[in-house]
Structure 1
Amino acid sequence: MIFVSLYLFMFCKMEENSGHISVADFSKHLFWDVNKSEIDLMRDRHYVVRRVFSCGLMNDWNLICRLYGIQEIGEIAKQIRDLDPKSHAFIALIAKIPEEDFLCYTTKQSTPQHWNF
């Protein structure tokens, strides 16, 4: 796990804000239910980060790292109430944010997910 987080941290630092990234670069299944032409990656960054955490692939993670940077992703993730435990622990570790600062830590769902692993 440490090697994975170190790799992601270094990759995101090297590639942060490089090149032009569009919605078409992300996996097709991420935005299947919305009109992709209406998504603005800067305006809708909370929506994009939430989708990548919930059902994104490694390539999608690399794209948001390049687009927003680890610290911005961490700040966005802090506001997601239903962030799953693995994503919560992962972003807290690599962004160096205390787990207690996340809304998903302080407000647990009244009915937890069916398969919680």
Structure 2
Amino acid sequence: MSQQEEYISKLSLYLFWDIDITKADMDTCPAQIIQRVLEYGQWEDWQLIRSYYGLDKIVSICKSLRTLDPKALAYICCISNTSKEEYRCYHESLRNPTIWNTE
């Protein structure tokens, strides 16, 4: 079992309800994995992706995400000492306000 397969097998299975987890690749689609763990994962899932990718890569990927849950954005900003204005998802949410998001 490769290191990547070992990490994937330890992630919560419910995070990947729509894909075949045996075909998932942490290096091919890191944005999808990081976003799902931040928005829906458990603490153990976060620890796994942080040890695999490292905080700098996670922050870099999060900065390019079009959408990210506001709580996940606040968390990543807090632990990386970055401002929410540096993230694409923050500006996208301001451009496309909804009835629930009037910031």
Q: Tell me the TM-score normalised to structure 1 length.
A: 0.73
1:93 aligns with 2:78: yes
Identity %: 31
1:79 aligns with 2:64: yes
Q: CA RMSD in A?
A: 1.9
Q: Distance in 2 between matches of 1:53 and 1:80?
A: 12
Unaligned runs of 5+ in 2: none
Q: Cα–Cα, structure 1 residues 67 and 81, in superposed 2: closer, same or farther, change >3 Å?
A: same
Q: Which amino acid aligns with 2:17?
A: W
Q: After TM superposition, give the deviation of residue 53 of structure 1 in Å.
A: 1.4
Unaligned runs of 5+ in 1: 1-18
Q: Cα–Cα, structure 1 residues 95 and 35, in superposed 2: closer, same or farther, change >3 Å?
A: same
1:59 aligns with 2:44: yes
Q: Distance in 2 between matches of 1:42 and 1:112?
A: 36
Q: Distance in 2 between matches of 1:23 and 1:31?
A: 10
Higher relative contact order (CA 8 A, sep 6+): 1
Q: Which amino acid aligns with 1:71?
A: D
Q: Tell me the TM-score normalised to structure 2 length.
A: 0.82
Quick check: which one's helix share is greater? Answer: 2
